[in-house]
Amino acid sequence: MADSLLDTAIANWGPRFTANGVDASDFSRITSTLDSWDQWCAAWSRGAEEHLALGEAAIGEDRFRSAGEFFARAATYFHFAKFLFVHDLDQARVAHRRAVESLTRALPLLDPPGRREVVDFDGSSLVGILRTPDGAGPHPTVILIPGLDSTKEEFREVERAFLDRRMATFSLDGPGQGEVEWSLAITPEWDRVGEAVVTHLSSLPDVDARRLGVWGVSLGGFYAARLAASDLPIVATVALAGPYDFAASWPGLNPLTQRAFQVRAHCDSMDEAARRAKDLTLEGHATKITAPLLVIMGGRDRLFPVSGARRLVEEASGPAQLLLLDEGNHGCANVIYRHRPYSADWMAQQLEVPGSLPGTL
C-alpha cells in the first residue's frame, strides 16, 4: 500500500537534499529501501553512520580534511533523518543529537574551520556556527537563517558560496530550529532574535559589525525580512522562497509541514497551530525595509505563492529586486546555479567586499 507521507517527502525534497550535501546516489539508494514514512529516520541515520565510519577511517590515516567532510556530511544526513519526522520525537531527538555531535566533530577539520557560538536569549540560548575566510579580520559577515524544517547542519554548501567571496558566515539555529526547537517556540518577533544575535556578533573581534548581511530560506526568508524591517544595522538582506503571509498558505501545506509547524511552534493542536500561523505576516513590516533587499522565488513553488514575493518587493521602501526563476521549486533547490552564486555576488557588493566591484582589490 502506498504511503502518501513517504511519497510526499521523496517527490518534494530530492533536489534540496542533493543541493545541500547529500550524495545523489545515496538519496536514491536510501529512499529506494523504504516502504513507509515510519522507516525514514532510521534509514537516513544508518546512512549517516556510514559516513561517520568513513570519517573515523580517515582520522586513523591522518586524512583530517577528508574526515571533516565525512563528519559534516553525516551531520547533514542525521539532520534530514529528523527534519520532518515529528510524529516520533524520541527518534527525532536521537538523530538530532547525532547531527549536532557530528557537526561539532567536523568544525575544526573544515577549511576554513568553524566554531560554535552560544547566544543568550529569552532565558535560553541560540546556537550558531561562525566560519571566517582566510586573512585578517574583522570580516563582513552574513547571518544564515534556516526555515521551518532546516537547521545549521544543512548549510555547508550555502556557507561555501559566501566564504569563497571572502565573507564570514554565521549559521544560526533560532527559536523553533535545531538545537533551540526543544526550548523555544517559533516566533515572528525576529527583531528581538536579531538584536541578541547582532549584539553577540558585535562582541567578536573577527566580525565586522558595520557590514552585516542576512540570508534566509523558506520560513527563514520571512525571518530575514523581519530582521530587515527592524532597527538593526543590517546592510543587505536576501529572502529566498519566504512567505509574505504564512497563514494564507496554511490550508495548502502538506501534512508533514503542518505537523512540523505545530510541534515547533509548541502548539497543543492543529487548530492552535493554524491560529499561530496568522502571526507570521509581513503586513505592516515590509514598508519598514529601507536597506537593499533581494527576493528570490521559484515559479513552481508549491508552498508559497509568487504573489507574496512580488508584494514584498513592491512594499519595501528601499532598493528591492525580485529574482523570479520560472522553473524553480520551493527554495529553488533544483536551480541552485541560478541563484546561489548570484546571491553571494550581490551580497559581496552590498557589503563592499574588496574585489567584488570592478577596480577593487
Task: Concatenate the DSSP letters of all residues of 151-192 into one string.
Answer: -GGG-HHHHHHHHTTT-EEEEEE-TTSGGGTTTS---S-HHH
Torsion, Cα of 262, 265, 269, 271 (10° steps): -90
Answer yes or no: do 207 and 278 share one domain.
yes
Answer yes or no: do 72 and 146 share one domain.
no
Q: What are the helix (H) ranges across the chain?
A: 4-19, 24-32, 40-60, 64-82, 89-106, 156-163, 190-202, 219-228, 246-249, 255-264, 270-277, 306-315, 336-350
Answer yes or no: do 61 and 177 share one domain.
no
Of 77, 111, 145, the domain-final residue? 111
Answer yes or no: do 53 and 127 share one domain.
no
Structural domains of the chain, count: 2
Q: Mean pLDDT, 10 residues at a time, over the chain (361 residues)?
A: 77 91 96 94 98 98 98 98 94 97 98 98 96 95 97 97 98 97 96 98 97 98 98 97 98 93 97 98 98 98 97 98 97 97 98 75 48
Rounded to an integer, what distance in angstroms lies between the CA atom of residue 95 and that of residue 7? 21
Give the pLDDT confidence of 99-119 residue by residue, as tens digits: 999 999 999 999 999 999 999
What pLDDT, on the 0 to 100 scale, is given for residue 208?
98
What pLDDT, on the 0 to 100 scale, is given for residue 2?
55
Residues 6+ apart with CB under 8 A from 14: 27, 31
Of 82, 111, 140, the domain-final residue? 111
Give the pLDDT confidence of 321-347 residue by residue, as tens digits: 999 999 999 999 999 999 999 999 999
Nearest of 297, 292, 304 to residue 324 by alpha carbon: 297
Answer yes or no: do 174 and 318 share one domain.
yes
Of 52, 81, 111, the domain-final residue? 111
What pLDDT, on the 0 to 100 scale, is given for residue 1?
36
Answer yes or no: do 336 and 302 share one domain.
yes
Domain that holds residue 26: 1-111
The CATH number of whichever domain residue 48 belongs to comes to 1.20.1440.110
Answer yes or no: do 9 and 106 share one domain.
yes
Angle between the 270-277 and 255-264 helix axes, to the nearest 10 degrees? 80
Answer yes or no: do 245 and 217 share one domain.
yes
Answer yes or no: do 45 and 182 share one domain.
no
Answer yes or no: do 129 and 208 share one domain.
yes
What pLDDT, on the 0 to 100 scale, is given for residue 357?
63
The CATH number of whichever domain residue 355 belongs to comes to 3.40.50.1820
What pLDDT, on the 0 to 100 scale, is given for residue 47?
98
Answer yes or no: do 255 and 317 share one domain.
yes
Answer yes or no: do 305 and 201 share one domain.
yes
